[in-house]
Structure 1
């Protein structure tokens, strides 16, 4: 019963101060290790409770309690708390070995945009609305975040009463965030990406794009990374040209030429006399 009592208290039996959340548990890799090898790794990590996973499959997460026994360290096999196992099993469903990243993809994510209906509004939120250039981008991002943060799809992130969320060892440097890709289901509108921020315990905006390029978030995004010229091509079947021109207007970019509806075109953008200019080129 000692193990069951400990598990009911959560992963760490360390009391938290008022308004202070206990530290997130970290899962450390030991791929394809057997029990003896897992225990050896736990001992090598020193005293304390350690989580070790042996692969990206269900129920491959193990817990070991390392304590000092005289001059030696002794290890005891435990079972991860239920909320830890729940998070591990849910998150590995979204790990993609081909890219080495965590991401969950929504094929259809349709929300009404802020300001609807209005001449400047589309029928659903997509990357154009959450771009920092859009006057109502804060409201659009807040709407998406509210749905992600409160929905049942990510209830596993709220499974611990203390608000703890498991981290994998290769996530600690921040290079592999837990990401969600949101598509509207409408051809050509691209996708929005949000990531789970462990500090805020909330989904936060990462980036978005249309069918051809990442969404511009500032005037400089109409230029190459080094500030040089950049071209944006749009095909005849895509509806993104007027939205591109609208973002350019919001960014203070000068547009030259007029698009022909449903005609393939290219926007050639460069800095001239200190100002960013884009030229419409029909293809």
Structure 2
């Protein structure tokens, strides 16, 4: 499980090394199912099986900051006064672009401005992408930090002042989400449906909302897929428009019911989206059975559409 949302383009260089060194370093350019992709001096990780590339269009560090750190108002949330840490789930550690953007944003704050600690929890079932990226830090500048190697070695990293803690939960997110601390923010960044289909299905989102039940949780993801948004609505999330990224004019934000009744300042999908959905050829949520039509009413009668 790792981040990705694009196929390899012709302008991408898989091996950006002088010919004389290709053979000598070939073994370091791919590990397991992953290989290095370099474009304009910036490294990305490609899944050889599916062809998907993590953060395929934008600079991974810039996308991680805009899509997850800024949009979640992470710094603002860390300025709140609380004895409880701000818990962030990083679903799909991959090459750690989102996780490191989170850590670096917290580290850039003045200590006096931090009203609460940060607890970052990364979920990943295949660590080879991060291991591979660490071999090539010249192309993965966000990894020029002590935290990633310590996380791999010990499963945990803590800042010197103790205000930032990063934990690794290795294995199946479907199981691990039930034993992790309740999230305030979820950075939901697995591969697309064709690779990580179970994670995008109605059942998965239902379980996720079950975990967050009674807690104000916001989920951020790169997709604006009609089928994914429908799956989230059927599961019980409130769904809002997210910021643009790369070629996408919108991404997606999911809110737990408790988050939705608060001052979330998000633009919920409204009647215009519902009308487009009703005419769409991709309106069926991922993961519903062929003989089950209950999802139609679950979408059209969702409480958020009664608010708009």
TM-score (norm 2): 0.26
Q: Identify the structure with the greater helix proportion.
A: 2
Q: Identify the structure with the greater strand proportion.
A: 1
Larger RCO: Structure 1 or Structure 2 (Cα < 8 Å, ≥ 6 residues apart)? 2
TM-score (norm 1): 0.27
